[in-house]
Amino acid sequence: MIKLYNYLVKNGDAVAVGVSAILFVIFALGIYVGTSSGGYSLNELIDREDKSDINCFNPGLWMMIIMTLLAILLMVFGVFFDLFKNFKSGSKSIFGFLAIVIAFIVLYFTSSHDSGGRFGAYWSPEFGITEGLSKFISAGLYSLMGLTLVSFLLILFYEVKGFFR
């Protein structure tokens, strides 16, 4: 286990980029093959009235769900490992995770339920998207955008700080 930890400390960025690139290619190929075998093209997906038979996105969605669960498990494992190894930095990880959870909850309760527009067909009962699920999706997307922005700004800050050292 220590060898894996040391390997990921040294090459973790390359592993993460490689895995995400492979999953992106699998997802893109799944969409292309799924639309071809389904008898429709990517250009006509938005214009279709009946979207219930579109399943070319399912492999990518399942990969995302599996990777999200794996990331959560690894994060929880890492927090507990760090908590037992070094309580001071481990407690900071717990506070950071709680801040993300609180931000998600605030975003959930402040999100609105949009039932119209070009995605109006998805609000039909056959898809099962309720007001709560719509707000959950919105909160997830806003959290994703916020965390992406914060990550980008922190990477930029630390790269500039490292450049002047």
Give yes or no for residue 105 having a pLDDT over 90. yes
Enclosing domain of residue 16: 1-85
Cα separation, 159 vs 134, in Å, equals 37
Q: Which amino acid is at 76?
A: V
DSSP secondary structure, 63-90, as one string = HHHHHHHHHHHHHHHHHHHHHHH-HHHH
What is the Cα 52 distance to its own chain's centre? 24
Which whole number is the average pLDDT over 82-110? 85
Q: Which of 32-36, 64-68, 84-88 has the lowest mean pLDDT?
A: 32-36
Residue with the two structure tokens 């006509």: 44
Global confidence as pTM: 0.51
If asked whether residues 51 and 95 sit together in one domain, one would say no
If asked whether residues 99 and 73 sit together in one domain, one would say no
Q: State the Rg of the chain over Cα.
A: 20
Give yes or no for residue 37 having a pLDDT over 80. no
For the chain, give the mean pLDDT. 81
Higher pLDDT, 1 or 61: 61
Cα separation, 161 vs 165, in Å, equals 7
If asked whether residues 139 and 107 sit together in one domain, one would say yes
DSSP state of 43: G
Cα separation, 89 vs 79, in Å, equals 9
Cα separation, 93 vs 75, in Å, equals 9
| pLDDT band at 155; cut points 50, 70, 90 | very high
Domain count, the chain: 2
If asked whether residues 102 and 114 sit together in one domain, one would say yes
Higher pLDDT, 79 or 153: 153
| pLDDT band at 145; cut points 50, 70, 90 | very high
If asked whether residues 91 and 139 sit together in one domain, one would say yes
Report which of 97, 67, 99 is spatially closest to residue 80, judged by C-alpha positions.
97
| pLDDT band at 64; cut points 50, 70, 90 | confident
If asked whether residues 94 and 130 sit together in one domain, one would say yes
Higher pLDDT, 94 or 42: 94
Which residue, of 35, 51, 85, is where some domain finishes?
A: 85
What's the confidence (pLDDT) of residue 69? Answer: 93
